[in-house]
Amino acid sequence: MLPVDETTAIKLIPATQYTFEQLVDIYNQTRIDYMVPMPMNVARLEEYVKTYDVSLEHSIVATLPNGEMLGVIMLGVRNGRAWVTRLGVIPNNRRLGIGKALFNGVFEQAQKLSINFCMLEVIKNNIPAHQMFLKFGFREVGELLVLRHSPLEKKNTSELANIQSFDRTQALTYLKNHPLTQPWTNQYESFLNSNEISGFYATLNDGSRGWMVYQRQKFLLSRFVFHTEAGNPVKVASALLTHLHQQYPRLDTHVENIHSHDPHLPAFYQAGYIEAFRRIEMWHGEFTG
């Protein structure tokens, strides 16, 4: 454990001075006892950095003067906005001000970039982190759900619908014009940086219509965004989810950061999705993008 009087000697080092292997090592050490396990490997971290526009230049590793790593924090940077992510401190060194020092450091990086709007998510019931973010002036804007669906689940509660597929180009057009501010992970740029993006458009007999965009990975369906243009959102989402799982009956599904107030949410439960956990979405400043 780090002696309390040594916190004044903490050094904040740009993450660019470390290899991906070193960053994975420190990150995994900080998550050993985490309430929701999220192990990382080099390939996943490289993809994470690319997909979410993480700037390693503006991300930070906290160390002792002898180079011993204590914690890490990362910053995603996009036009006029930033995302604070992957904050972690090695368990034996918590509650000594290291998390606060890391957060101060990355917040200063955002200010140097003239960014006045920051987003983050904290797992619900992670009270120490939540309280720290509140003290930094972040405010709660909602709860985000992480949902899972087994390929063995074969519920079908959808009425008949005309379903049309569309490709990556059309998917990106829909996402770019979505009327609501999405969590960082589901924003247009996150899809733009990803592969295997496509979607479906549903038209129902009662006139309801809308679309969904998703990512198909090798063994997994993920990253869903819905929008209902007219009619009943639950019926639209139910039709789209039914069609999706008919197309990919053997794939697991892991959907992150669906707003708890999303009008499409009941369709997920009707289709057999299970809630894994929740995050609290928090903002600092005003979104103008």
Residue ranges of domains in the chain: 4-116, 147-283
Which tokens in the block code for residue 122?
């904290």
How far apart CA 49 and CA 227 sit, in angstroms, is: 27
Which CATH number is 4-116 given? 3.40.630.30
The one-digit pLDDT tens for each residue of the chain (289 residues) are 444 444 458 899 999 999 999 999 999 998 887 777 778 999 999 999 999 999 999 999 999 988 888 999 999 999 999 999 999 998 877 777 898 999 999 989 998 999 989 999 999 999 989 999 999 999 999 999 999 998 865 555 556 789 999 999 999 999 999 998 899 999 999 999 999 999 999 999 999 999 999 999 888 999 999 999 999 999 999 999 999 999 999 999 999 999 999 999 999 999 999 999 999 999 999 876 6
pTM over 0.85: yes
How far apart CA 209 and CA 221 sit, in angstroms, is: 22
The CATH-assigned architecture of domain 147-283 is: 3-Layer(aba) Sandwich (3.40)
Q: How far is CA 47 from CA 80, 195, 223, in A?
A: 23, 11, 14
Residue 249's Cβ-count burial label (10 Å; 0-12, 13-18, 19+) is: exposed
Residue 135, phi then psi, degrees to nearest 5: -65, -30
Contact between 92 and 1 under an 8 Å Cβ cutoff? The reply is yes
How far apart CA 259 and CA 281 sit, in angstroms, is: 9
Q: Which of 209, 247, 207 is nearest to 227 (CA)?
A: 209
Which tokens in the block code for residue 149?
């669906």
Q: Which of 50, 30, 52, 49 is nearest to 39 (CA)?
A: 30
How far apart CA 212 and CA 268 sit, in angstroms, is: 13
E strand or H helix at 191, and its extent? helix 188-192
In this predicted structure, what is the pLDDT of residue 94?
75
Residue 32, phi then psi, degrees to nearest 5: -55, -40
Sheet hosting strand 11-14, strand order edge to edge: 11-14, 60-63, 69-78, 81-89, 118-123, 274-284, 139-149, 252-259, 220-230, 209-216, 197-204, 161-166
In this predicted structure, what is the pLDDT of residue 31?
86
Is 4-116's fold the same as 147-283's?
Answer: yes
Burial 91-130 (b: 16+ CB within 10 A, else e): eebbebbbbebbbebbbebbeeeebebbbbbbbbebeebb
Q: Say which DSSP state 8 is in.
A: G
Which tokens in the block code for residue 101?
């020092």
The rounded Cα 214 to chain-centroid distance in angstroms is: 14
How far apart CA 141 and CA 148 sit, in angstroms, is: 23
